[in-house]
Chains A and B, each alone.
Chain A
Amino acid sequence: MLAAAPLATRAGDEWSGAAVRRFTRRATAARADTSWLTRAGDLLSGLTSAGVAVALCGGTVARLREQIAARPAADSAVLPGSLTAAAVALALAAALVALLARLGPVSATPAAAAWWLSLPAGRRGLLRGELRRVALLAGATAAAVGVPVALTLARTLTGVLVGVGAGALLAVAAVGALVLRQAAGRTRRVPAVAGVVTVAALAGPAAVGCLLAGAGGRLSAGGPGTVPEPVGLVLVGLLAVVAVLGLGLADRRLDRLPAGALRASGETVQYATASVLSLDTRELGRALRTAVRRPRRRRSWGWVHRPWQAVVAGDLAVLGRSPVRWGQLLAGGALPVLAARTEGLAELPALVAVAVVLGWGSAAVALGEPSRRAAAAPAADRSLPMAASEVVRVRVLVPVVVLAVVCGLSALLVGQGTGVPLGWLALGAAAAPAWAGAAVRAGYRPDLDWSGPVLSSPMGAVPVGVSATLVRGPDVGVLGTAPVALALLLGTVPPVLVAVQLGWSVALAAFAVLTAQPPD
Chain B
Amino acid sequence: MRLSDIAIGVSMAMLALLLSYLIVYGGLGPIATLNLRPLAVSFLNYTYNPWKIVYSAMSPEAVTAIVWDFRGLDTYFETSVLFIAIVGLIALFRGANVVQGVSSKGLSIIVKTSTKLVAPLILVAGASLAFHGHLSPGGGFQGGSFMTVAMTLLAIAFSIEFFQQKKLTLNRLLAIRCIGLLAIVVVSVYLLVKAVLLGGYAYIFQNMPRINSQYSMPSWFLDRPLAGILFFFNLSESIAVIGGLTLGVVLLLLREEELKAIIGGGEHE
Binding between chains A and B: no
Q: B residues bordering A, Cβ < 8 Å? A: none
Q: A residues bordering B, Cβ < 8 Å? A: none
